[in-house]
Structure 1
C-alpha cells in the first residue's frame, strides 16, 4: 500500500497546472445546463484527443474515456458531472459565466477538470495493469420530476457491468484547500422530492363563501410542515426538510382556485424516510379536509444515499496520509445521483477541499468561487488512490 504526503505540494508541473486552469476557466465561462452540455463535451474531447479510447454522445452529451493497461488487473471507474446550475454568477472573476442565469455554482467545472487532468496524468505515466475508465456524466442537477443523468448513462449501456472501484469527488467549501474529506460510511444523503397540489374553487374576494381558497390551504401546509413533520423523527436521526417553491393565483382580488408547492426530504435510513413520507402524505390530506379543498401529492426523484465501501475508505485514508480528513465532516445531507453507480461496484465519494482565504462561499451560491489550487490536489489524490488500488493482485 502506497503512502503520500501530497496536498498543496501536488506533483503537477507548472505547465500542466496552467493548462488545467485554462481548461477549467474555459468551461466555467461557458456553462451549460443538464443534457445540453455540448460545448463542454467538445472542450473535453479536444483536451483528451489522441489519449486512450474516447466515446462521445453517451446519454446525449456525456463522454466515456478508457485506458487499458498492459496486463490484466483491477477495473476502476472515475465519474465527473458536467452540468451547470441555474443561478446568475456574482463571483466577480474575470472568467465568470457569460450566460445570465447559468453558472458552475456547484463546482462541476472543477470536477471535470480534475478528471481530465487525471486521465492525462495516468496516460502519461503509463498503466501497467488493469483498466481506468473516466465518465463525464451529464445532468447531475435534477429539477422536480426530471430524469437523472446517472440513470441515463446506466441505461445507455456505455459502461461495463462491474468495476472493482467506483470513484467520485465533489468540491467541498467546508474543507480547506489541500485536504480531502473521506466519510466513513454515508457520503451523501438519500433524497425524495414531492409536489403538493391543492384544488379549490375561485371566487371574488368580496364573496369568499362562494369559493375554496387553495392559497390559504398551501399556506397552512407550509407552516404545519415545519412543525409537524420533524416530530416524525427521532432526535438522533439525521433529517433535512425543505419547501423550495410555491405558487398560486393571478389576481389580488380572487381566491386562487389552485396552488402548488414543491419540496424535498433528505434522510440516511430507510425507516426514517418511510415515516417522513407518510407524514407528508397525511399532512396534505388533513389540510385538504380542514380547508375544503382537494389535495394531490406526487413523489419523484427518489435517490438512495451514497455509501462509501469500508475497504475503499481504509485504502484511501492510508494512501492519502495527512491530507485525508476523516473526522469532523458533519452529517452529510446533500444528495447525489452518484449513488446510482453503486450498482456497478464498491464506491468511494471524496470531498475536495476548495476553501482558501477569499473563497469560502457555499455551494449553489452565486458567489461560489473554489480555490483553483484544489485542481492539482484532486488530480494528485485520485492518481495516488488509483495506483494504490492497481497494486492489488486480481
Structure 2
C-alpha cells in the first residue's frame, strides 16, 4: 500500500468513526446524510440528497458509455444502547450501529471516491445510501421508498450490497451460492377479550392468557408442521396487554416474524399462525385477528455475479462459501429487481476473539474490515465495467 493509499484508508476509517458516533434511526438520518454528502462533495462529486427523506445518490461517469453498476449502503442504526465504552461510542442514547451500517456506508463511499479520483474508461458507478433498512412491524421499507422516489435508473448491469458478518474474521469475505438473506413475513395478533375483576374471572375473557396460549401454540405448532429439511425461524418479539394486576385484560397483542427460504414452506408457516389463532379463539371464547405486514422476499444472488465474486475477490481477501442460508433479512431484496445482484458477507471479527452477534449491544468490528470492503466493492465494480460478469462467456466490447 502506498502512502497515498494509507492516507486514503485513514480518511475512510475516520468517516466510519464519525458515522458511528452519529447513529440515527430510520428516516431520521439527517446528520448521517450531511456527513456523507460533505465527504462526497469534497471528492468532487455532486450527490443528490433528500432521496426518500434522507437518502443520497451519487454517480461517477466514465469517459465512454458502458455498463452501469449500483453500490448500496444502508444509513440507519438500531434501537439498542451501545454497551462498550470507547472513544467512538454512539452519542445518541438508545441508538447504535449494532448492525454495522456505519461500515457499509464508509465502504461504499470509499469505493465511489476511488472512482471519482480515477474515473473508469467506460461505464458508470452509482452509490445509493438508503435510509430505513431496519423495518419495525407495519412500517415502510427504505428500499421501497427509494424505488418510489424515482431517482434510480430503470435497470443496472450489476447491483452490489454487503453486510457485516460477525461469524467471519476481518479479512474474509463470504459468498452465498444463491440465498444471501431469507424471506420475511411480519405478523400482529390482536386478541379481543372482556374485562372482569380478578376475583371473578368467569365473568370475563382473559386476553393475556389467550395471547400467551397463542405464543406458545405457534412455537409448538411450527415444530410439528415443518419437515426435517425445512429452513424456518419464527419469533414473537413483542407482547402488550392489560392495565392492572387485579383485572382480566380486555385486549392484548403480539408481533413476530416468520423467516424462510422456500415459498411453499413460507405459505405453510403462515397457515400455522392462522390455525393456532383460530383454535385459541374457540378454546377461550374470544376474538382474534391476525394481520400481516412487511412481506420481504429473499435476497437471491445472481449466478453470474457469484461466479464473478469468486473469481475477482480472492485478490482482495480470503473468500469462503457460505454453507447455510441465514435467517436474517434485508430490503436489498427489493433492489435485486433492478439487475444481476451480489450481496456478500464482510468478515468483521478480530482474529481469535469471539464476536458479538448482530443487533447485540456489544456488537463491534475490527476496523481492518473497512479497507477490505472498499477494495472488494471497487474490484467488483471494475470487473463489471470491463464487461466480465460471466467469466466463461465474456461479452463484446460494447462498441
Q: Give TM class, smaller chain.
A: over 0.9
Note if 1:333 corresponds to 2:333.
no
Q: How many residues align?
A: 386
Matched residue, 2:337: 343
1:185-200 equivalences in 2 (<5 Å): 185-200=178-193
Q: For residues 59-102 of structure 1, what are the alpha-carbon distances to aligned partners after superposition, in whole Å with 9 as ceiling and x for unaligned? A: 01000001111111111000000001000001222110111110
Partner of 2:238, secondary structure, is strand
For 1:123 and 1:329, locate their aligned partners in 2 and report how far apart those are by CA, in whole Å: 36
Question: CA shift at 1:325, angstroms?
Answer: 3.1
Decide whether aligned partners of structure 1 residues 182 and 321 sit closer, same or farther in structure 2, where only a CA change above 3 A counts.
Answer: same
Which one scores higher on RCO, CA 8 angstroms, separation ≥ 6?
Answer: 1
Matched residue, 2:302: 309
Question: CA shift at 1:324, angstroms?
Answer: 4.7
For 1:256 and 1:230, locate their aligned partners in 2 and report how far apart those are by CA, in whole Å: 29
Q: TM-score scaled by structure 2? A: 0.94
Partner of 1:203, secondary structure, is coil
Q: Which runs of 5+ in 1 are unaligned?
A: 1-8
Note if 1:167 corresponds to 2:178.
no
Question: CA shift at 1:225, angstroms?
Answer: 1.1
Higher alpha-carbon deviation: 142-151 or 231-240: 231-240
Matched residue, 2:371: 376
Q: Which runs of 5+ in 2 are unaligned?
A: 388-396
Matched residue, 1:385: 380
Decide whether aligned partners of structure 1 residues 228 and 12 sit closer, same or farther in structure 2, where only a CA change above 3 A counts.
Answer: farther
Q: Check whether the contact 1:359–1:371 (CA below 8 A) recurs between aligned residues.
A: no
Decide whether aligned partners of structure 1 residues 292 and 216 sit closer, same or farther in structure 2, where only a CA change above 3 A counts.
Answer: same
Q: For residues 194-243 of structure 1, what are the alpha-carbon distances to aligned partners after superposition, in whole Å with 9 as ceiling and x for unaligned? A: 00010000000111111000011011111111111232222111111101
Matched residue, 1:145: 138
Decide which of 98, 103, 107 is 1:114's aligned counterpart.
107
Partner of 1:280, secondary structure, is helix
Note if 1:79 corresponds to 2:79.
no
Matched residue, 1:3: none
Note if 1:34 corresponds to 2:12.
no
Q: Check whether the contact 1:32–1:83 (CA below 8 A) recurs between aligned residues.
A: yes
Matched residue, 1:19: 11
Question: CA shift at 1:144, angstroms?
Answer: 0.3
Decide whether aligned partners of structure 1 residues 297 and 91 sit closer, same or farther in structure 2, where only a CA change above 3 A counts.
Answer: same
Decide whether aligned partners of structure 1 residues 195 and 31 sit closer, same or farther in structure 2, where only a CA change above 3 A counts.
Answer: same
Partner of 1:48, secondary structure, is helix
Q: Check whether the contact 1:199–1:259 (CA below 8 A) recurs between aligned residues.
A: yes
Higher alpha-carbon deviation: 83-92 or 353-362: 353-362
Higher alpha-carbon deviation: 48-57 or 285-294: 48-57
Q: Check whether the contact 1:317–1:324 (CA below 8 A) recurs between aligned residues.
A: no
Matched residue, 1:366: 361
Partner of 1:202, secondary structure, is coil
Q: Check whether the contact 1:89–1:103 (CA below 8 A) recurs between aligned residues.
A: yes
Question: CA shift at 1:30, angstroms?
Answer: 1.5
Q: Check whether the contact 2:74–2:130 (CA below 8 A) recurs between aligned residues.
A: yes
Q: Check whether the contact 1:77–1:165 (CA below 8 A) recurs between aligned residues.
A: yes
Partner of 1:53, secondary structure, is coil
Higher alpha-carbon deviation: 287-296 or 122-131: 122-131
1:165-244 equivalences in 2 (<5 Å): 165-244=158-237
Note if 1:95 corresponds to 2:88.
yes
Q: Check whether the contact 1:10–1:380 (CA below 8 A) recurs between aligned residues.
A: no
Question: CA shift at 1:11, angstroms?
Answer: 9.9
Q: Check whether the contact 2:190–2:254 (CA below 8 A) recurs between aligned residues.
A: yes
For 2:335 and 2:3, locate their aligned partners in 1 and report how far apart those are by CA, in whole Å: 30
Matched residue, 1:128: 121
Partner of 2:321, secondary structure, is coil
For 2:45 and 2:158, locate their aligned partners in 1 and report how far apart those are by CA, in whole Å: 20
1:27-66 equivalences in 2 (<5 Å): 27-49=19-41, 50-66=43-59
For 1:194 and 1:224, locate their aligned partners in 2 and report how far apart those are by CA, in whole Å: 15
Higher alpha-carbon deviation: 230-239 or 68-77: 230-239
Q: For residues 240-291 of structure 1, what are the alpha-carbon distances to aligned partners after superposition, in whole Å with 9 as ceiling and x for unaligned? A: 1101111111111101110100010001111110010011011111111101
Task: Give the alignment's Cα RMSD to 1 decimal.
Answer: 1.5
Decide whether aligned partners of structure 1 residues 191 and 10 sit closer, same or farther in structure 2, where only a CA change above 3 A counts.
Answer: farther
